[in-house]
Amino acid sequence: MCAELSALTAIALIASDSPGPARRFWRTAIRAADQTKDHELQARIRGRRAVFALYDDLPVTTALTLAEDAVTVSDGQATAGSASGYAARAQGLAQLGLHNDARRALSHLEATFDRLETATIDDRRSQWGWGQQRLLHVASFVYAHAGDTSRATQAQESALALYPTQLYQGRAQIELHRATCLVAVGDPIEGARHTIRTLTSLTSPRRHDALIRRSAQHVVDAIPANAAHDPAVCEARHMLTSMATRHD
């Protein structure tokens, strides 16, 4: 109970852009999980920690280390924890531009997903399940960063069909993956415009969700220097700065 509640508190703090306090709750969650003999719980907490580290102020390599820890603790078992570990690994490698390695990690994730228990796959609303929309989310992220428009679009359309309308966070992130893909294939201006469209389509409270804002920041950060002064890029950057300032 302590491990799960501490992890949920950490996740809420990440979403509210309080990474420092979140890290303290993550440490509590992992320490509490390790005091049990439940290896599935230990992997599950570590896996979610690895995924949310991608939205922290930490280096991407930290998320990769945490992902490896989750996979190791899983000891070859197909669980929500090992799936999250492979998911974090695939996305972290994609962010670093190691696209072949990211695809291999995605393949490991797909193989793990095929072995998950039905109850885990069917749990699409809690932090502890691992539904198909999460697999498609990771595929969208990996292919978007690689500029693989065909596979990215296929994953994105399939993910949006599965995400309930009320899960605005995941849906907005998928749209920001589209923007990432546009930047990756050499159209940073349209990538900036799609980022603006995605953010302005959200109500103000939802727009200030830190996971969405950080996802949008990743898009803007990937825009090359020769497009940095385009009006759309400047507008996107100003919007993100304004969102961060209002949060502070």
Among 130, 162, 194, the domain-final residue is: 162
46 and 110 part of one domain: yes
Whole-number pLDDT of residue 208: 84
- Overall domain count for the chain: 2
204 and 246 part of one domain: yes
Q: What CATH number did the domain enclosing 99 receive?
A: 1.25.40.10
136 and 242 part of one domain: no
Of all residues in the chain, the percent with pLDDT exceeding 70 is 98
Give burial (CB, 10 Å; 0-12/13-18/19+) of 61: exposed
Question: Does residue 103 sit within a domain?
Answer: yes
35 and 94 part of one domain: yes
Q: Which residues of the chain have pLDDT under 50?
A: 248
141 and 241 part of one domain: no
208 and 134 part of one domain: no
Question: Does residue 167 sit within a domain?
Answer: no
Cβ–Cβ under 8 Å, residues 174 and 140: yes
Cβ–Cβ under 8 Å, residues 90 and 102: yes
93 and 135 part of one domain: yes
Residue 98 contacts by C-beta under 8 Å, 6 or more apart in sequence? none
Question: Does residue 170 sit within a domain?
Answer: no
The packing angle between helices 19-34 and 39-53, to 10°, is: 160
Question: Does residue 175 sit within a domain?
Answer: no
107 and 190 part of one domain: no
Residue range(s) defining the domain that contains residue 190: 183-248
Question: Does residue 197 sit within a domain?
Answer: yes
Q: Which residue, 26, 61, 24, is CA-closest to 46?
A: 26
Question: Does residue 171 sit within a domain?
Answer: no
139 and 202 part of one domain: no
Whole-number pLDDT of residue 228: 93
Distance, in Å, from the CA atom of 85 to the CA atom of 74, rounded to the nearest integer, reads 9
Question: Does residue 156 sit within a domain?
Answer: yes
55 and 134 part of one domain: yes
Question: Does residue 177 sit within a domain?
Answer: no
In this structure, which amino acid lies at residue 226?
N
Whole-number pLDDT of residue 245: 58
Instruction: Report residue 231 as tokens.
Output: 């009006």
Distance, in Å, from the CA atom of 45 to the CA atom of 178, rounded to the nearest integer, reads 29
129 and 232 part of one domain: no
130 and 233 part of one domain: no
The packing angle between helices 60-74 and 80-95, to 10°, is: 150
